[in-house]
């Protein structure tokens, strides 16, 4: 992890402000799964970063994990038919919420976005093109951390060009909010996990592919609220 240049920092700051004027809709459907629990204070920005994508053929599945705040009210105010909401009556945790979202997904490609993370406006468009060029089933990207106010703090995680099963377990460098899976080469069962400490998903994923491909460009801001990424928690549970 190294400090980002002033140019890159300025680019990262545009994540919240930049909006695509004419989104491209010609292409495969991309499913985006967003688990949320008491996320009313920051989910608005996360959803705006999806609405601002330069690629428009997506569905956003927000899984409300029995929030006790106004998370549902915030989500419903958008009124975009591409946004679907699944409400859990009982709090089951991030893993179960994510599984429900995956189960409801319809897209050829699958992505995750945590409710306190943000995407660059061209994240989907560039990642789809990247995967087509590499002819890969699984990709991920570099990201920058945010401070307590959600602003890029200059600490960038640069991902490797490729990563293997053993490397992903050791490094924990793959952030869930940057991944994209070609679901024509995986099953929904491959994406299921029991809890955040269940590392079996990586075994299932890498049983299908030898390696995953990393994008050097910063494609997301990692929210401060989460502290440590979902996938890092999962990795630490592997024995």
Whether the Cβ atoms of residue 213 and residue 161 lie closer than 8 Å to each other: yes
What confidence tens digit (pLDDT) does each residue in 188-204 have? 999 998 776 656 788 89
Confidence (pLDDT) at 215: 98
Q: Which of 152, 154, 120, 110 is nearest to 52 (CA)?
A: 120
pLDDT at residue 1 is higher than 50: no
Predicted TM-score (pTM) of the model is 0.85
DSSP SS3 for 19: coil
Q: Predicted confidence band at 21 (pLDDT cuts at 50, 70, 90)?
A: low
Q: Name every residue whose Cβ is closer than 8 Å to that of residue 210 and which is 6 or more positions away in sequence.
A: 164
Q: Where are the domains of the chain?
A: 2-236
Confidence (pLDDT) at 153: 83
Confidence (pLDDT) at 7: 42
CATH of 2-236, one of 1.20.1250.20, 3.90.550.10, 3.40.50.300, 2.40.10.340: 3.90.550.10
What confidence tens digit (pLDDT) does each residue in 114-162 have? 999 999 999 999 999 999 999 999 999 999 998 776 677 889 999 999 9
């Amino acid at each position: 992890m190294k400090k980002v240049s002033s140019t890159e920092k300025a680019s990262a700051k545009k994540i919240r402000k930049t909006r695509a004027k004419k989104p491209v809709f010609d292409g495969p459907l991309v499913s985006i799964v967003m688990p949320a629990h008491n996320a009313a204070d920051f989910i608005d920005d996360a959803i705006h970063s999806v609405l601002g994508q330069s690629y428009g053929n997506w569905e956003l599945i927000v899984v409300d994990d029995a929030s006790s705040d106004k998370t549902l009210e915030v989500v419903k105010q958008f009124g975009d038919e591409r946004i679907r909401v699944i409400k859990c009556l009982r709090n089951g945790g991030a893993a179960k919420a994510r599984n429900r979202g995956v189960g409801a997904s319809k897209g050829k490609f699958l992505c995750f976005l945590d409710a306190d993370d943000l995407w660059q406006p061209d994240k989907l468009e560039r990642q789809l093109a990247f995967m087509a060029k590499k002819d890969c089933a699984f990709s991920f990207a570099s990201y920058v951390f945010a401070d307590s106010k959600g602003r890029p703090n200059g600490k960038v995680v640069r991902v490797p060009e490729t990563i293997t099963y053993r490397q992903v377990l050791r490094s924990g460098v793959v952030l869930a909010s940057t991944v994209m899976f070609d679901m024509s080469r995986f099953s929904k069962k491959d994406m299921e996990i029991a809890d955040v400490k269940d590392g079996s998903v990586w075994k299932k994923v890498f049983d299908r592919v030898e390696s995953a491909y990393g994008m050097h460009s910063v494609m997301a801001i990692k929210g401060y609220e989460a502290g440590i990424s979902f996938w890092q928690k999962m990795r630490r549970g592997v024995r």
